[in-house]
Amino acid sequence: MGSQVILKRPTFWIILLATLAFALVPALTGNLELRENLLLGAVYIILASNLNLMIGYTAYVNFGNIAFFGLGGYIGLYVVNVLGWSLWPACLIAGVVVSLLAFILGTGILRLRGAYFALATIGVNEAVKAFVTNFEPFGGASGMYLSFSSFNALGGARHALWLAYFAIVVLMGLSLWLSLAIKNSRFGLGLFAIREDEDAAMVLGVRTPRYKSLVYAISAFIPAVAGTLFFFKNGVILPDQAFDLTLSIEAIVMLMLGGQGTVIGVALGAFAYEQLRGFLLVSSTFSQFQLVVAGVLLLLIVLFLPEGFMGWVYRHLPRLRRVIE
Amino acid sequence: MSALLEVEHLGKRFGGVRAVHDVSFAIEEGQIFGLIGPNGAGKTTLFNLINGVIKPDTGRVALQGEAITGMAPYSVVHRGLARTHQIVKPLNDMTVLDNVIVGACFGPQKLKLKEAATAARDSLKTVELIDRAHVLAGTLNLAGKKRLEIARALAGQPRLLLLDETLAGLNPTEAERMIAVVRRIREESGVAILMIEHLMQVIMSLSDRIMVLNFGEKLAEGTPEEIAHDERVIEAYLGDPDLASRLMEQK
């Protein structure tokens, strides 16, 4: 549907307002702790909503979604650090390269269905990790450290970190807008048909192989760009941290929690999970205790609330289905 | 002028089983072509071979003179051949209307979303399902799901519609309504129909031409009168020689 239709939808305005709030509140208060908190929230929302295109829209469970983020970070940092280019073209290159790789790879592994596809995606993440760990231009096992001069091009470290933060917030807004736009498009309808019954979709005329490869590539783009920004802001990238399978699984918990297939629900789920995680990291004597909670949470959702928080809301207030998507 | 659908020497084996063997026939524009045969005769396999769900080992299928043999199902649909399933395949968590919009959007006409919504409503009216447009497809009963199958296939305005046992599992009232729906489709859209059906009086009264399959092979083809009086058909399928004359009387 055209953009004027999307403008009329309240969901669009919710996305816009949330994005502005993420950008402005830390900027106006100058609260750095809040900024770091929201930064992680924004990254989680980016990961979860792009993964939602695969899981919630198309019903292909991608455990390797974090590979897009990590590989994007590596490619971007390589372009900045070794080639000496500025951050913005580096972001674009990372996004395009990772998307193209995903498209080519998707053409192959998306022939698999269900659990077989999910297993293959774990393999993808591990294979990329193993490759990067042994790839000297990317620093191998010891990773890549950003030279401090890279920040100078963006007006010094302080300025550069704020810029990277704003860029990630913009990517968060774009991710949510993309989810909304796809949901209301012909493309999205084709994906939903695949989600419900791939064989039926094919017989109804949906060009399923192309649609699946396309959505796989699309779901890789923004996470790859976000990876560049995130690790640029970090100043360092290591294989274990860039291709952390637990974050992939946490992203699945986030979107299940909020309601797979919804736009706002997934964002809420990601944000809530990030807050919970932050709380557990600080307050608990266990390290990584959030993973225990995540596991229990996932179990509870699957058992009692498979449609997630938004699904629960829709069930009690069916009218909201058309208003908050 | 070539026929709408031409099937020549089509064959498929599954291991040692000859599911379909050397089947040839042709369907003209606007014709209703009945396909009958005992269970396991290869009727649904023949459908799957024609619309690309299964690739044939031998033979050729042509739609409006263009070879479609071994094409993917979506490519076959785009060329104007839509089908329904014997075992219904509704898109459960989508509304009835959205189900049909999928058919209109991705079917032969490849309509835009807005036009597709209009076409979908027309299609739902034809199958008398318009009052259920906004319920989830998964909540329909079997008769509703069967009509949804037809509406989806019809919404893209195909040239040829393959109906796979649309009456199976319906009670007599539901079946009667469904027969009326099939008649209406033929009158309103003039689409050619290839239908598999077990109810003899239905297939005899609806079809312009009938083909009988037995053990994957074509046993006979002809007008309903010819089929009803064909001795091989009576022996293999109808069973009772008097049945034929009774069927013709009813008609």
Q: For B181-223, what is each residue's pLDDT tens digit?
A: 999 998 888 899 999 998 888 898 899 999 999 999 999 999 9
Mind telling me how many Å the CA of B78 is from chain A's nearest CA?
6
Q: Does A204 touch chain B (CB under 8 A)?
A: yes
- ipTM associated with this complex: 0.90
Class of domain A3-323: mainly alpha
CB within 8 Å: A196 and B112: no
Residue-wise pLDDT tens for chain A (325 aa)?
445 555 567 899 999 999 999 999 999 998 999 999 999 999 999 999 999 999 999 999 999 999 999 999 999 999 998 898 989 999 999 999 999 999 999 999 999 998 999 999 999 999 999 999 999 999 888 899 988 788 888 888 888 999 999 999 999 999 999 999 999 999 999 999 999 999 999 999 999 999 999 999 999 999 999 999 999 999 999 999 999 998 999 999 999 999 999 999 999 999 999 998 888 777 666 667 778 888 888 889 889 888 999 989 998 888 888 788 8
pTM: 0.91
Q: Which one, of A137, A143, A152, A150, lies nearest residue A81 by Cα?
A: A150
Q: Across the interface, do A190 and B105 touch by the CB < 8 Å criterion? A: yes
Q: What angle (nearest 5°) sits at the alpha carbon of residue B50, between those of residues B47 and B52?
A: 105
Residue of chain B with shortest Cα separation from A307: B93
Position B248 scores a pLDDT of 65
Please give the full DSSP string across A258-284, using - where no structure is assigned. H-TT-SHHHHHHHHHHHHHHHHHHHH-
Instruction: Test A193 with B106 for CB contact under 8 angstroms.
Output: yes
Segments of chain B assigned E as strands? 5-14, 17-27, 32-36, 58-63, 66-67, 81-83, 160-164, 192-196, 209-214, 217-222
Asked whether the beta carbons of residue B103 and residue A208 sit closer than 8 angstroms, the reply is: no
Size of interface A-B (CB pairs under 8 A): 78
Contacts 24+ apart (CB under 8 A), A120-126: A121/A61, A121/A62, A121/A63, A121/A64, A121/A65, A122/A63, A122/A64, A122/A245, A123/A64, A124/A64, A124/A67, A125/A63, A125/A64, A125/A66, A125/A67, A125/A243, A125/A245, A125/A248, A126/A243, A126/A245
Alpha-carbon distances of B165 from B129, B131, B214, B234, B237, rounded to whole Å: 19, 24, 17, 21, 17
Structural domains in chain B, CATH included, are 1-74+198-251 (3.40.50.300)
List, for residues B221-243, the tens digit of each pLDDT value.
Answer: 999 989 988 888 888 777 776 76
> Considering only CA atoms, which of B7, B84, B89, B82 is closest in space to residue B49?
B7
- pLDDT value of residue A284: 60
Indicate the residue of A1, A193, A199 with minimum beta-carbon distance to B102: A193
Angle between helices A186-196 and B96-106 (to 10 degrees): 120
List Cβ neighbours of A59 (8 Å cut-off, separation of 6 or more). Answer: A194, A195, A196
Question: Residue A185 corresponds to which tokens in the numbers above?
Answer: 């498009």
The reply to whether A5 touches chain B by the CB within 8 Å rule is: no
Q: Which is it for strands B5-14 and B58-63: parallel, antiparallel or unpaired?
A: antiparallel
Q: Where along chain A do its domains lie?
A: 3-323
Strands B66-67 and B17-27: unpaired
Cα B170 to Cα B147: distance, rounded to the nearest angstrom: 11
> How many angstroms away from the CA of B157 is the closest CA of chain A?
12
**Calculated CA dihedral for residues A206, A211, A212, A213, nearest 10 degrees:** 140
For testing contact with chain A, the best of B50, B71, B74 (most A CBs within 10 A)? B74
